Amino acid sequence: MAILVTGGAGFIGSHTVVELLAAGKEVVIVDNFVNAKPEVLNRIRKISGKDFKFYEADILDRPALDRIFEENDIDSVIHFAALKAVGESCRQPLRYYRNNIAGTLSLCEAMTAHNVKKIVFSSSATVYGMNNPVPFVETMPISQATNPYGSTKVMMETVLTDLFKADPAWSVVLLRYFNPIGAHPSGLIGEDPNGIPNNLLPYVAQVASGKLPYLSVYGDDYDTPDGTGVRDYIHVVDLAKGHLLALDKLAEAGVNIYNLGTGKGYSVLDVVNAFKKASGRDVPYKVVPRRPGDIAVCYADSSKAKHELGWEAKFDLDDMCRDSWNFTKNNPNGL
Ligand SMILES: NC(=O)c1ccc[n+]([C@@H]2O[C@H](COP(=O)([O-])OP(=O)(O)OC[C@H]3O[C@@H](n4cnc5c(N)ncnc54)[C@H](O)[C@@H]3O)[C@@H](O)[C@H]2O)c1
Ligand SMILES: CC(=O)N[C@H]1[C@@H](OP(=O)(O)OP(=O)(O)OC[C@H]2O[C@@H](n3ccc(=O)[nH]c3=O)[C@H](O)[C@@H]2O)O[C@H](CO)[C@@H](O)[C@@H]1O
């Protein structure tokens, strides 16, 4: 029996495929390379010493999905494929709603047609919105997000939950990721954004490597110890391992939601300092006004994942910066 990984060539997907292969699972990847490069597939093979099946296809292409389900004995799906840039989603809302929502509907329809009813879904801490107190707990109300990307996550969680309500044979695990960073310790795969990065870590890495002149710190007047935004950064390998444990949870029908974070918050300046230490490079920065839509503090209560999945993050911020720098150094021009 195989696991279908949508978006398996992406940042989190590629690290998860490495863990799946290491655990002896059979893997089928579908990705259209809208935000990934084909070279990542060679890198996964190199790290794991194992092979997998790959389909270059869009999950909106229903006949292509049908072919994948027909040609493989798929038992469950891990669904990463989505567009994820917040700013871009504000400029191109229709593209985001079509890709993320219609893509998920197309996938779920194909799964239903082929009687595959087990899915692990990539959600985000963004569903907690602006009004819940930290730490975020799975039982908190999810709310209207502040941007179209976030709205697609709220909607996709709703779609999957309604699917179970209508047909209790479905097993759905919603994983709410906090801020995934870092890279595989081999330095062969990591975060490889196109163009100028939006997120903090890849931006800092490009400043340290000299590709970008300085970091803009979005506000130092938040109600936090040093005034800069605080986030729960989590090593992508820890996150990837969470998916393996989530697969076990699919054995029972239902909808289960888990936060995947470390439960610790680090400020932008904490990250800058940790990255300087890891890289031995300077990371010049300038404080600029707050970024619209940002919240002051975001971190997880991950005790549910610990108790029910036996999952806990093992890597700390220094490990994350070390591995992120290792990847950047080894791949100065990306993959
Ligand atoms: N990285 C984060 O900070 C973060 C945080 C919370 C949630 N998530 C979610 O986790 C998932 C994976 O994120 P990531 O950081 O690995 O992003 P990524 O962009 O690196 O990976 C997504 C992959 O999906 C593919 N893809 C997108 N649309 C597709 C489509 N229609 N058909 C086929 N393939 C398609 C892309 O080519 C890419 O390889 C996404 O759903 C994202 O929203 C990410
Ligand atoms: C409002 C917003 O965009 N939220 C998205 C962002 O989270 P989030 O904003 O937490 O993640 P980022 O990496 O973009 O930012 C982390 C922290 O660094 C600061 N920062 C970031 C970049 C920079 O150049 N300078 C700087 O100071 C931010 O203000 C924030 O305090 O990315 C996540 C992962 O893709 C998404 O799930 C979130 O929906």
260-301, pLDDT tens digit by residue?
999 999 999 999 999 999 999 999 999 999 998 899 999 999
Q: Name the DSSP letter for residue 300.
A: B
Query: Per-residue pLDDT tens for 209-268?
Result: 999 999 999 999 999 999 999 999 999 999 999 999 999 999 999 999 999 999 999 999
**Which atom of ligand 2 is nearest the CA belonging to 267?**
31
Tell me if 275 CB under 6 Å of ligand 1: no
Tell me if 200 CB under 6 Å of ligand 2: yes
Tell me if 84 CB under 6 Å of ligand 2: yes
Supply the residue whose CA is at minimum distance from atom 9 of ligand 2. 294
Mean pLDDT of 136-153: 93
Amino acid identity, position 139: T
Q: Backbone phi, then psi, for 21, in 5-degree steps?
A: -65, -40
Mean pLDDT of 67-91: 97
pLDDT at residue 144 is higher than 80: no
- Measure Cα distances from 196 to 39, 192, 200, 204, 251 in Å: 20, 10, 11, 11, 41
Candidates 14, 79, 74; CA nearest to 48 is 14
Contacts 24+ apart (CB under 8 A), 277-281: 277/318, 277/321, 278/318, 278/321, 278/322, 278/324, 278/325, 279/208, 279/321, 279/325, 279/329, 281/208, 281/209, 281/210
User: Model pTM greater than 0.95?
Assistant: yes
Q: Which of 96, 97, 149, 203 is catalytic?
A: 149
- Measure Cα distances from 241 to 74, 146, 248, 311 in Å: 20, 29, 12, 8
| Nearest bound ligand to the CA of residue 202 | 2
- Span from the CA of 139 to the centroid of ligand 1 (angstroms): 25
Supply the residue whose CA is at minimum distance from atom 1 of ligand 2. 294
What is the pLDDT, as a whole number, of residue 158?
A: 97
Residue 230: Cβ-neighbour burial (10 angstroms; 0-12, 13-18, 19+): buried
| Nearest bound ligand to the CA of residue 214 | 2
Tell me if 68 CB under 6 Å of ligand 1: no
| Nearest bound ligand to the CA of residue 224 | 2
Candidates 103, 121, 130, 132; CA nearest to 161 is 121
Tell me if 29 CB under 6 Å of ligand 2: no
Query: Per-residue pLDDT tens for 154-201?
Result: 999 999 999 999 999 999 999 999 999 999 999 999 998 888 999 999
Query: Per-residue pLDDT tens for 38-58?
Result: 999 999 999 999 999 999 999
ipTM of model: 0.97
